[in-house]
Amino acid sequence: MKKIECIIRPARLEAVKEALGRFGIHGMTVTHVIGCGLQQGKTEFYRGSQYKVDLLPKVKIEIVVKDDWVDGVINVIKSNAFTGEIGDGKIFVYPVEDAVRIRTGERGDDAI
């Protein structure tokens, strides 16, 4: 099993979520986060004073899938989160040793 974690633009969340659902992914964790990267933030004005916003709002999606689903899930996320501009996000893949469904006690692939 693998855990796929992606950081994307908030505006792309619904498109990614719907595409993942069509692919067969129905369980995911979504967290609103802030961060910085190549996008470098932006400069804004408040009450006549200029200030820099370094941390921009993003969305983090976490999914655990079977090993043979990883490439398909990555392709779905890439194609639906893509805008072609700096700040589209990143995808990370981690190994998962085990998973346990609390309600039934199922383990491994059966738990996801």
CATH number at 92 reads 3.30.70.120
Classified as helix, coil or strand, 57 is strand
- State which residues form the domain around 39: 2-110
As given in the structure block, the two tokens for residue 109 are 């692939």
Classified as helix, coil or strand, 30 is strand
pTM, full prediction? 0.86
**Domain count of the fold of the chain:** 1
* Cβ–Cβ < 8 Å for 65, 73: yes
- pLDDT tens per residue, the chain (112 residues)? 999 999 999 999 999 999 999 999 989 999 999 988 776 666 777 777 777 777 889 999 999 999 999 999 999 999 999 999 988 999 999 999 999 999 999 999 999 8
